[in-house]
Structure 1
C-alpha cells in the first residue's frame, strides 16, 4: 500500500469531529443557562457533608414501621410484576410484526410506546389522583411500567426467532396456538425468563419510590421521615432498601444460573 493510500485510509473524520465540538459547546452553553457552576457544586458538597453527619448513626428503634413499609413495597413489587408480565405476553404477541399484520401490530406497538412514554413516578401520581392514596395506585403504576418494558422486549425477541421452525410447525396443519407453543416459545423461553427476572428486580427498586407520591410502600415512610427532619431514621430506611436490592440481585443471579 502506498503512503498516499495509507493517508486516505486513516483520514480524519471532520464531520464527526465538528459534531463532537458542537455538542461540547452546547453543553457549556446549557450549563451556563442552568447556572451549573463549580462554586455551587462546592457549596453543595459542604451541605451534603453536614446532611450525612446528621444521618449517623442510623436509628432502627422504629423497626416495626420500617418492616411494615418494606413488606408493603415487596407486595406491590410482586403483584405488579405478576400482573404486568401476564399482560405483557399477549400484548407482545400482538406487537410482533412477524406474527401479526401491520393493522394489529401497529396499534399494539403504539400502546407499548404509550406505556413507555411516561416515567413510573408520573404514572403513580396520575393513579393517586384517580383512585386515591395507597398500594393500589403503586401496583397500577408499576403494571403500566412493566408492560412498557417487558412487552417491548418480548415483541423484539419474537421478531428475532428463526422462521424455519415456525414454518415447519405450520406445515403440519397446526393452528395458531400450536404454532406459538411449538414454533415460537421454545426459541424464546430462556430470554423470556431472563426478562421476567429482571423486571421483578426492577419493580423491587421502583416500589420503594412510588410511595414518595402517596402510592404505598416504604417510599411513603421515607418521605415522611424527610419531612420530619428525622435523618437518622432516613439512614436506617436507606440501609434496609439497599440491603433488599442487594439480596434481590443475589437471588436473581442464582436463578439465572440455575436456568442456564
Structure 2
C-alpha cells in the first residue's frame, strides 16, 4: 500500500497577490493626497465640532410658535409628493413596459431606456433648479422635479422586473388569440404587480423626503421655509422644521408598510 508523502510543505491557499496590493497602495496614496489637497485636518474637525455644539445649543428647545407657517409648508410638501408620485407612477408603468426588451422591439425599447436613463442622470436639486428657471418659483417646479425623479427610478426597476418574468405564461395567453392589452393584463402584470407596488411605495417615501429638499432652491414645500429660517439665523425654528420633517418621513414609512401589507 502506497504511503502518502507528508514531507512536502502544503501549498499556501492565500498567496500574495501583488496586483491587489498595488491597487490598495495606489488607493492609500490617493486618499492621503486628497486629504492634503482639500486641507482636511484634525484641527478643522475639532473646530467644526465646536461650532456644531454652539449651533445645537441655539436650536434647542425647538420653537413651534409659528405653527401656521410650519403646517403650511408641510401641507405643500405632502401635496407635492402625492401628486408627483401619482403621475410619476402612472407614467413609469407605461415607460417601464415600453423599455422591456423581451416585450418590445429594439427600436422602441432603446429610445425609452435612454429617456429613463436621462431622467436619473441628475440629482433632484439640479433638476429643480432647471424647472425653477423654466416655470418659475413654486410647487409646480417641485412637482415636475419629483415626477422626473420617479420615472428615473420606478420605470427602470419595472422594466427590469418585466424582463425577468416567465415567458411561458405570455405564450399561453397569446396562444388563445388574446391581444396585446390582454397579454399585459393577464400574463405580465400578475407576475410583477407585487414588485411594482413595492417600487411605488418606496418612491412615495422618497418623494416625501425630496419634497422637503427641492424647496431649498425655490421649488416649493417645507424646504423653502427651512432655507428662510437658516438665512434669518432662526435656529430654534429650524429645529422645529427638522422635527416636522422627521415626523413626515415616519408617516411615509408607516403608510408604505400599510400598503405593502394590503397588497402582499
Fold-level similarity (TM above 0.5): yes
**Offset, 1:256:** 1.6
Distance of 1:5 and 1:133 partners within structure 2: 75
Aligned in 2, Cα 1:97/1:61: closer, same or farther, shift over 3 Å? Answer: same
Match of 1:50 in 2: 54
Equivalent of residue 23 in structure 1, options 27, 30, 45: 27
Aligned in 2, Cα 1:230/1:258: closer, same or farther, shift over 3 Å? Answer: same
Q: Indicate the structure with greater helix content.
A: 1
**Offset, 1:247:** 2.0
Match of 1:88 in 2: 92
**Offset, 1:2:** 8.5
- Partner deviation per Cα, 1:154-173 (whole Å, 9 max, x = no partner): 10100111111111111222
Quick check: 1:246 aligned with 2:246?
A: no
Aligned in 2, Cα 1:81/1:12: closer, same or farther, shift over 3 Å? Answer: same
Distance of 1:7 and 1:46 partners within structure 2: 55
Distance of 1:101 and 1:27 partners within structure 2: 46
Quick check: 1:235 aligned with 2:244?
A: no
Match of 1:184 in 2: 188
**Offset, 1:35:** 1.4
Q: Which has the larger radius of gyration?
A: 2
Distance of 1:2 and 1:23 partners within structure 2: 43
Quick check: 1:166 aligned with 2:179?
A: no
Match of 1:157 in 2: 161
Match of 2:224 in 1: 220
Runs of 4+ in 1 over 6 A off after TM superposition: 1-5
Across the aligned residues of Structure 1 and Structure 2, the Cα RMSD in angstroms comes to: 1.7
**Offset, 1:20:** 2.6
Distance of 1:153 and 1:107 partners within structure 2: 16
Distance of 2:137 and 2:98 partners within structure 1: 33
**Offset, 1:258:** 3.2
Aligned in 2, Cα 1:160/1:12: closer, same or farther, shift over 3 Å? Answer: farther
Distance of 2:10 and 2:93 partners within structure 1: 53
Distance of 1:69 and 1:57 partners within structure 2: 21
**Offset, 1:8:** 5.4
Distance of 1:259 and 1:118 partners within structure 2: 32
Distance of 2:5 and 2:81 partners within structure 1: 64
TM-score by length of 1: 0.95
Distance of 1:232 and 1:222 partners within structure 2: 11
Match of 1:258 in 2: 262
Quick check: 1:75 aligned with 2:79?
A: yes
- Name the count of aligned residue pairs: 260
Distance of 1:102 and 1:198 partners within structure 2: 29
Distance of 2:10 and 2:249 partners within structure 1: 53
